[in-house]
A and B are shown apart, each in its own frame.
Chain A
Amino acid sequence: SQQGEEDPQALSIQEGENATMNCSYKTSINNLQWYRQNSGRGLVHLILIRSNEREKHSGRLRVTLDTSKKSSSLLITASRAADTASYFCATVSRGGSSNTGKLIFGQGTTLQVKP
């Protein structure tokens, strides 16, 4: 079963604006990951944040994690038309081996960046 809930489900912004997507989960986790999917394609790993981390940056991406609220956010700054895609959070439950543990995906946020 999918344990991640993301909001918003869809987001439309203008190029140059920031985009924020949120993800909530239900169980204890080892880490939380964000992936991007272009329409009809596979997923690309964006960033991983461990359960003992609160914030992480990678280029124009900023991820936060609040384990007390079981939530994470992905911020894309200075968005570009090429950022148009679906974004998914995914978690590996604590207790399983991270090397073989199942990755369970959230429902995703569809982002449209208008040029």
Chain B
Amino acid sequence: GAVVSQHPSWVICKSGTSVKIECRSLDFQATTMFWYRQFPKQSLMLMATSNEGSKATYEQGVEKDKFLINHASLTLSTLTVTSAHPEDSSFYICSARNRGPLVATNEKLFFGSGTQLSVL
């Protein structure tokens, strides 16, 4: 099956610093990647849709200058949390959709293992 690699798995940083999270599709090309945020014991909230070669589309209420997304290639998208604050502490998960020819493959998402961000 398709594999999505997300790094780092966890990161602790000081308030005011920036943190970059990488999401790679290892064995398929992903024109679209999605970034989600998840608080403890809650569901996933879609933050933004990352499109290769174009600007990301952010969900309502998500600050695009705070959460910078770059999708420079068909296999890599990055999320940078800028000037992180304790309220940004959360579990961030990326996912990608295989652009292969099979409709069923195209519709389901493959997820990274997530990044637990703790801002002190």
Contact = CB atoms under 8 A, between A and B. Distances in A.
B66 interface: no
Given A42-B113, A88-B44, A102-B34, A31 B107 contact: yes
A100 interface: yes
A106 B114 CA distance: 18
Contacts of B114: 40-42
A114 B4 CA distance: 31
Residue with the greatest number of chain B CB neighbours at <10 A, chosen from A2, A40, A107: A40
Interface string A36-67: 00001111110010000000000000000000
Interface residues of B, number: 32
A95 B10 CA distance: 37
Contact of A42 (B46, B93, B107): B93
A22 to B, nearest CB: 15
B102 to A, nearest CB: 11
A42 B43 CA distance: 12
Contacts of A2: 43, 45
B111 A44 contact: yes
Interface of A: 1-2, 4, 30-31, 33, 35, 40-45, 48, 88, 92, 98-100, 102-108, 110
Interface of B: 4, 6, 31-32, 34, 36, 41-46, 49, 51, 60, 91, 93, 95, 97, 99, 103-104, 106-114, 116
